[in-house]
Amino acid sequence: MTGTRWGKVLAALWDRATRREGPEMTARRVAVAGGASGDVLELGFGTGANWRYLPAGISYVGIEPDPAMLSRGRAHAVQSDRAVRLVRAEAEALPFAAASFDTVFATLTLCSVRDLDAALKEVARVLKPGGEFRFWEHTRPQNRVAALITDVACPAWAWAGGGCRLNRRTTEALNAEFAMEEITAFRMFLPMVLGVGRLRPEEQ
Ligand SMILES: C[S@@+](CC[C@H](N)C(=O)[O-])C[C@H]1O[C@@H](n2cnc3c(N)ncnc32)[C@H](O)[C@@H]1O
């Protein structure tokens, strides 16, 4: 989604869909964004669907590389009573100093970043010692047949869906980068993981 007409259509569809989400989606957003504290960074905020669930008293900055999402997010931010700082950037190259944030969080974003390992390394870099990475993401199916189907479907899906990779090994990458404080696997059409990771002691 890089400033194309299709990117604008996708941003409009996503914006509309997130404003009509049901209780299951809302519960996941509350579990992730609602637990943020202190200095907070959101990766790929889209059009701002998580903002309404942020607790009071935090300091928020969100990054988003897609111009159409960013522009919709900016319009919502103006109408919102929340103070949100919005920056055009990619998760793989965060324009922030090391150890800047108490909480970094992402919802349904890690499937779309260009380089998942690089993005997670950046999250680890900008987290303060003791900080946490909160996430809700879809991940590669465990079942071999289902995984194979996602391998076949992935190129077309990613092309049409703003780079979203159905077959990404997100759970493995998260476990490799962070010590998991909690992690729950469940299914909402796609296999999903939701949890909280912390820097390993040697990374702090
Ligand atoms: C499916 S949308 C989810 C948006 C939002 N997180 C939400 O839950 O509504 C995926 C988002 O990831 C963003 N994205 C894609 N590549 C990215 C990258 N390299 N770094 C950060 N965000 C990225 C997209 O622009 C898009 O806004």
List pLDDT tens digits, range 125-152: 999 999 999 999 999 999 999 999 999 9
Query: Which helix (H) or strand (E) element contains residue 48?
Result: none
Report the distance separating Cα 111 and Cα 187, nearest Å: 16
* pTM score over 0.85: yes
Position in ligand 1 atom list of the atom nearest CA 115? 19
Pairing of strands 179-188, 101-107: unpaired
**Ligand 1 centroid, distance to 48 Cα (angstroms):** 10
In terms of pLDDT, which residue wins out, 155 or 194? Answer: 194
**Contacts of 148 by beta carbon, 8 Å cutoff, 6+ apart:** none
In whole numbers, what is the pLDDT of the chain averaged over residues? 95
Report the distance separating Cα 102 and Cα 39, nearest Å: 5
Question: Does any ligand 1 atom lie closer than 6 A to the CB of residue 167?
Answer: no
**Ligand 1 centroid, distance to 103 Cα (angstroms):** 17
CB-based contact 24:188 (threshold 8 Å): yes
Position in ligand 1 atom list of the atom nearest CA 18? 9
- Map tokens 């998260």 to a residue: 174
Which DSSP symbol is given to 37? -
Q: Tally the C-alpha atoms within 13 A of residue 62's C-alpha that lie toward its C-beta.
A: 28
Report whether CATH 3.20.20.140 matches the domain 5-199: no
Confidence category of residue 162, pLDDT binned at 50, 70, 90? confident
Position in ligand 1 atom list of the atom nearest CA 91? 20
